[in-house]
Amino acid sequence: MIQPHSLLPTSFTPNKILATKGTTLNHVSTRGQVQAHFKKCTKESGLCKCNRRHFIEAFGTSLLPISNASNAVELLNIDPMNMLDRVHPPRPDWYEEFYASAMDKTMKSYEAEIAGYKSQLFSNLRGNVLEIGIGTGPNLKYYANGSDIRIVGIDPNRKMKKYALAAAKAAGITSENFKFEQAVAEALPVDDASLDVVIGTLVLCSVEDVDLVLQEIKRVLKPGGTYLFIEHVAAQDGTILKYVQGVLDPLQQFVADGCHLSRETGTSILNAGFSTVNVHNIFLSSASLINPHVYGIANQ
Ligand SMILES: C[S@@+](CC[C@H](N)C(=O)[O-])C[C@H]1O[C@@H](n2cnc3c(N)ncnc32)[C@H](O)[C@@H]1O
């Protein structure tokens, strides 16, 4: 299991340590508790209201312990396929392909700059690993050195699948050890307390309901399991960057499939009720408006 100290690479000193905290907020660890949260937040539309935005709505396995969907419908009423339809209804084919292809082609300099952080964060993975919003699979090459590792990547965008499968193959990960599932992180198709590691990079900016996703991550992690994250967040209040992010946020959501520029995701992770959270703050020159980033480890 990754320990927090392994996160602090000698050659990548974070600008600032935001916080190290053991919190007890929002204890939601079973699907029943997640369901209660969901019901509380649900109105007639059937969508959870937490942090929701609707700019783009008009566009309108066997590796891991994947839940039986029909049981989930019956017992929990938050079946992963229902949730997929609710929070990320299918976009037109051309839009999904455009976004997947853009992610594949335009992230090279970003990936080069973040590589040192990723190789530290994702070293020595083992066991059952789930990546939420896996996209084109840029992280898979870092998992290849892991031992005894079984990976499932979920993403609502069907067009990401071919890129993610190709990335897994290029990384030398066998098709037995990597599966892609179409799903959203608001209802993970995974049993309670069944995973060793959950990973998410640049995804909490795009989900419909950040708090619900964090409760889902806690639900599926085993006790002591690890959530590894790299997310871009809102700039500091009062800065020009924060102002520009506010102005361009609607456009960003439109062109980048719901990505928000000004979420306080570091704070959301700190307040989600993980037993320990280590969050570090960095600024990446290749990411322009999509700054700063937080990265770190939270433990169930
Ligand atoms: C900016 S991309 C990042 C992809 C990849 N994680 C990376 O680091 O390049 C955001 C990804 O989140 C996915 N996504 C959007 N809404 C989601 C949701 N509700 N649950 C899970 N993934 C979601 C998108 O389809 C997209 O692949």
Indicate which atom in ligand 1 lies nearest the CA of residue 185.
20
Residue 65 to residues 26, 70, 192, 244: CA-CA distances in angstroms?
Answer: 25, 15, 9, 43
Q: What element of type H or E holds 85?
A: helix 80-87
Mean pLDDT of the region 167-179: 95
**Higher per-residue pLDDT: 51 or 184:** 184
User: For residue range 99-128, what is the model confidence (pLDDT) as tens digits?
Assistant: 999 999 999 999 999 999 999 999 889 999
Indicate which atom in ligand 1 lies nearest the CA of residue 259.
1
User: For residue range 18-52, what is the model confidence (pLDDT) as tens digits?
Assistant: 333 333 334 445 666 655 555 554 443 333 433 33
User: For residue range 258-289, what is the model confidence (pLDDT) as tens digits?
Assistant: 999 999 999 999 999 999 999 999 999 999 99
pLDDT value at residue 76: 47
- For each of the domains in the chain, give its residue range(s) and CATH number, in order of start: 4-299 (3.40.50.150)
What's the token pair of residue 84?
């997929």
Task: Mean pLDDT check: name the lowest of 9-23, 210-224, 239-253.
Answer: 9-23
Task: Mean pLDDT check: name the lowest of 33-42, 173-182, 198-207.
Answer: 33-42
pLDDT level of residue 78 (50, 70, 90 thresholds): confident
* Ligand 1: lining residues by beta carbon, under 6 Å: 87-88, 103, 132-135, 138, 155-157, 160, 184-186, 201-203, 206-208, 257-259
Calpha distance 27→57 (Å, rounded): 31
> Which residue, by CA, sits nearest to atom 24 of ligand 1?
133
- At which residue do the structure tokens 């500091």 appear? 236
Percent of the chain with pLDDT strictly greater than 90: 71
pLDDT at 73 over 70: no
Ligand 1 centroid–CA 290 distance in Å is 15
Indicate which atom in ligand 1 lies nearest the CA of residue 155.
22
* For ligand 1, mutation pick of 47, 155, 160 (most atoms within 8 Å of CB): 155
Sign for the pseudo-dihedral over CA of 3, 8, 9, 10: negative
Ligand 1 centroid–CA 134 distance in Å is 6
Mean pLDDT of the region 143-152: 87
Looking at the DSSP bridge assignments, the partners of residue 147 are: 126
φ, ψ at 29 (rounded to 5°): -125, -5
Percent of the chain with pLDDT strictly greater than 70: 74
> Which residue, by CA, sits nearest to atom 16 of ligand 1?
207
pLDDT value at residue 29: 54
Calpha distance 216→187 (Å, rounded): 7
Can you tell me whether residue 276 is helix, strand or coil? strand
Ligand 1 centroid–CA 50 distance in Å is 18
pLDDT value at residue 62: 52
Strand runs labelled E in the chain: 16-21, 126-132, 147-155, 178-182, 195-201, 221-232, 276-282, 293-299
Indicate which atom in ligand 1 lies nearest the CA of residue 135.
27
Q: What is the DSSP string of 59-81?
A: ----SS-B--HHHHHHHHS--HH
> Which residue, by CA, sits nearest to atom 3 of ligand 1?
202
Task: Mean pLDDT check: name the lowest of 63-67, 113-117, 235-239.
Answer: 63-67
Ligand 1 centroid–CA 253 distance in Å is 12
